[in-house]
Structure 1
Amino acid sequence: MTTSGIEVWAPDGVGEVRAGDDLAALVLPLVELADGDVLVVTSKVVSKAEGRVVSGTTREEALAGETVRVVARRGPTTIVRTRHGLTMAAAGIDASNVEVGSVVLLPLDPDGSARRLRAAVRERTGRNVGVVVTDTAGRAWREGQTDIAVGAAGLLVAEDFGGRVDAHGNPLVVTAPAVADEIAGVAELASGKLGARPFAVVRGRADLVLAPGDDGPGARALVRPEGGDLFGYGAREAVVRAVLGDPADQAPFGSPVPAEELAAVLRLLPGVEVAATEDGVSVTGGPAEAVAALAFAHGWRVDGAGSAVEARLRPATT
């Protein structure tokens, strides 16, 4: 009989981490690592060791410097896209488990932090391990939060089952488990939120650990490129951006859709007649502002003065 399973443990004994601390020196006396293990560490202690604690400021005051663009706002909550490409509440800035009046920013380069820790473990123990740097994030349409991988080294961060078939012969088309995120989640179960256990070891998936010297693509590979996500803005924000039509806001809406798809949407407007042309779409009648907003949201633009009484639409990228 073939069995499989994993082991996860999080050691006690890690004190307060401060700027300049050697993370490998902190964890190695507490664990006995084996080749193929995955060492998991919270981004908070990585940030503390790398001097990413800011005193005399609040999360709100620090937010602008960590934000590439705002995705959505709901009351006191601001969801942003960070320089890492992550979409997170308050850019992952944390005011817990830190001195009052201070906040902890995410590491500047979580993948780089993971690579350095992996190299230090290899140098001091001879063991070949993967490393995952984690942070806590919410999920669209789901209550609660879970830990995800924001940095990784020496690890296959996603498995690809595309092109394979299941036991019934059905093709697997888009099955790609984000195993780095799954490792982050199971490690958090062992560490706990208030246990002062910022490190965990996951054993049993050595098949995911890459060869020495191969750090892999990092957790950045799990981030969809700007415009590749179906939900680049919150529902309200998407309406506002489309109505304003600022070209600087275009990227999150994605690439221009085919002319047939745009035409089908425009026909939903009352009193609109739509026809295909050699270089775009022709629109007659209908509210000009609505035509322009729908065109913008689908990656197109109104060519000319913008009157929908007689308007020509072309893809915004041409």
Structure 2
Amino acid sequence: MHTLSLHAIPNIPEIKPGDDLAIILGDAIEAASLSLQDGDVLTSAHKIFSKAEGRIVNLAEVTPSEEAQGYADELNKDPRKVEVILQESTRVVRHFKRPTQNEGTMICEHRLGFISANAAVDESNSGADETLILLPEDPDASAARMQEALSKRFNAQIGFAITDTFGRPWRLGQVNVAVGLAGVPATIKEQGNSDAHGRLLSVTEPAFADELAAASGLVISKAGQTPVVLFRGLNWSFEASSAQNLIRSKKEDMFR
């Protein structure tokens, strides 16, 4: 029988700009009477990385552009927040405000290529009023540094994934997805394998990293201050990886 365990790492403190996250997370793992083994995978909500890297914006320091003011008027949004969203975006895919909404929505293509609401610019858990939190500048690089530091500290080959919460087209609710990867395969290519009845698989390619990210949401919460989850018992192979490999190419986009 295949057994998989998930452990939310407790007692991770409030992170401040400049904090050494590798030391903080390593200490928290040991304080929980845990260690790391070959084949373990850690996932983390991006916000602790964003805070440590100083990816916090003070709205008092933002001057909205004319474009931002236009979207703000139409969507009943703070024009300063809209300006930050535009600065993090390469394009606005759609924007709308339903009669039942107090504040409208901007679906944007983030500068890293992810399509999400508000270009992943968020107010929750940003650490102070009138501040916004952004994705890390380079989530793959952030994940790689953490993966290397924790692998060295615990003498184990592990994988690491940084996550954020995205909505999904045509489905209600949000799930965690991978926005930064190190060691963990983005997808598992099943093409050429056979199903249980011997039929050849031609398109099956599970989004392994996103499945990990989504599963982490089962044991963490916005108010729980447990952003890091340890997975043990997964079947995977270490490889050079990137969350960019999860983004569908524009030539395959049927809705542009």
For the criterion TM > 0.5, the same-fold answer is yes
Residue 7 of structure 1: which of 1, 5, 8 is its match? Answer: 5
Q: Whole-Å Cα distance in 2 between the matches of residues 229 and 6 of structure 1?
A: 35
Secondary structure of 1:128's counterpart equals coil
The answer to whether the 8 Å contact 2:189/2:205 transfers is yes
Q: Is 2:56 the partner of 1:53?
A: yes
Check if 1:81 corresponds to 2:121: no
- Name the residue aligned to 1:118: 147
1:145 aligns with 174
Larger radius of gyration: 1
Paired with 1:165 and 1:125, the residues of 2 have a C-alpha distance of 37
Q: 1:14 to 1:30 in 2, by over 3 A?
A: same
Matched letter for residue 218 of structure 2: L
Q: Give the conservation status (yes or no) of the 8 Å contact 1:115–1:153.
A: yes
Alignment match, 1:175 = 204
Is the Cα–Cα contact under 8 Å of residues 46 and 113 in structure 1 kept in the other structure? yes
CA positional deviation for 1:209: 4.2
Secondary structure of 1:190's counterpart equals: coil
The two structures have a TM-score, normalised by structure 1, of 0.68
Q: Is the 8 A contact 2:96 2:106 kept in 1?
A: yes
Whole-angstrom CA distance in 2 between matches of 1:167 and 1:7: 25
Q: Partners in 2 of 1:209 and 1:83 — Cα distance?
A: 29
Q: Given residue 90 of structure 2, which amino acid in structure 1 is its aligned partner?
A: V
- Per the alignment, residue 24 of structure 1 pairs with 22
Q: Distance in 2 between matches of 1:147 and 1:187?
A: 7
Larger relative contact order (C-alpha < 8 A, sep ≥ 6)? 2
> For 1:95, which of 123, 133, 141 is the aligned residue?
123
Checking the alignment, whether the CA contact within 8 Å between 1:47 and 1:106 is kept in structure 2 is yes
**Alpha-carbon offset, residue 224 of structure 1:** 1.3
3-state SS in 1 of match to 2:161 = strand
The aligned amino acid for 1:87 is I
Say which SS state the counterpart of residue 57 (structure 2) adopts. strand
Q: CA deviation at 1:130?
A: 0.1
Residue aligned with 2:123, SS: coil
Residue 209 to residue 30, structure 1, CA distance change in 2 (3 Å): farther
Distance in 2, matches of 1:19 and 1:209, equals 33
Alignment counterpart, residue 39 of structure 1, candidates 39, 42, 57: 42
- Report how many aligned residue pairs link the two structures: 225
Structure 1: runs of 5+ lacking an equivalent: 233-318
> Shift in Å at residue 204 of structure 1?
0.9
RMSD: 1.3
CA distance in 2, matches of 1:110, 1:195: 23
Query: Are the equivalent residues in 1 in contact too, given 2:37–2:154 (CA < 8 A)?
Result: no
> Partners of 2:109 and 2:192 in 1: how far apart?
32
Give the equivalent residue in structure 1 for 2:85: 63
Distance 2:241 2:58 in 1: 33
Secondary structure of the equivalent of 1:194?
Answer: coil
Q: Is the 8 A contact 1:59 1:90 kept in 2?
A: no
Does the residue aligned with 1:29 lie in a helix, a strand or coil?
helix
Q: For 1:151-230, list aligned pairs within 5 A.
A: 151-205=180-234, 207-210=235-238, 214=239, 216-230=240-254
What per-residue deviation string (whole Å, max 9, x for no partner) do you get for residues 226-265 of structure 1? 2322223xxxxxxxxxxxxxxxxxxxxxxxxxxxxxxxxx
Deviates more, 1:129-138 or 1:157-166: 157-166
8 A Cα contact 2:187 2:206, kept in partner? yes
**Cα pair 1:136 1:146 within 8 Å, conserved:** yes
* Residue type at the aligned position of 2:11: G
**TM superposition score normalised by structure 2:** 0.84
Name the counterpart of 2:73.
none
Mapped to 2, the partners of 1:231 and 1:201 lie a distance apart of 37
Deviation at 1:225, TM superposition (A): 2.0
Local SS of the residue matching 2:86: helix
Report how far residue 198 of structure 1 moved. Answer: 1.2
Q: Distance in 1 between matches of 2:9 and 2:194?
A: 40
Q: Deviations over 1:83-104 (max 9, x none)?
A: 1110000000110112100000
